[in-house]
């Protein structure tokens, strides 16, 4: 049986590894944001205005081993009301740091987060 002190040490090591992974993911998303945007355009078949990193990956205190890596693509569609939601076309088709990204589609409005392209 692990002592509570050893358990805390193991959790700290795991959290440091997780934080390293989170930071590396953010760096990679910033570096390859333009490529992801182009890929999203090809998959959607329409112009993508911008690509954003959203959700818990932006916050080290909220990001856990169970967290998804969320990105959002913004498109302009004249005549449509602003909306957002999951993109079935993009689901499981954009990758970074060896992981599939959870992609939402934002129409005629910007998501909250970090713009990377």
Count of the separate structural domains present in the chain: 1
Cα torsion through 94, 31, 39, 51, rounded to 10: 80
Reported pTM = 0.83
Tell me phi and psi for residue 105, to 5 degrees: -110, 125
pLDDT digits (tens, 9 = 90+) for 11-54: 544 677 889 989 999 999 999 999 999 999 999 999 999 999 99
What's residue 8's pLDDT?
47
Query: Whose CA is closest to 71, among 18, 35, 42, 20?
Result: 35
CA distance 30 to 51: 10
Is the pLDDT higher at 97 or at 104? 104
- Reduced to 3 states, what is the DSSP secondary structure of residue 109? coil
CA distance 48 to 108: 11
Termini Cα distance of the chain: 49
**Structural domain of 72:** 4-115
């Amino acid at each position: 049986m692990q002592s509570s002190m050893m358990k805390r040490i193991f959790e700290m090591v795991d959290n440091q590894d997780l934080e390293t992974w989170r930071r590396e993911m953010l760096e990679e998303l910033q570096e390859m944001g333009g490529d992801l945007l182009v890929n999203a355009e090809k998959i959607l078949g329409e112009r993508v205005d911008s690509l954003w990193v959203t959700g818990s990956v932006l916050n080290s205190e909220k990001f856990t081993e169970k967290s998804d890596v969320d990105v959002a693509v913004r498109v302009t569609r004249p005549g449509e009301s602003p909306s957002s939601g999951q993109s079935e076309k993009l689901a499981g088709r954009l990758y970074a740091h060896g992981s599939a990204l959870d992609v939402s589609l934002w129409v005629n409005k910007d998501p909250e987060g970090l713009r990377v392209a």
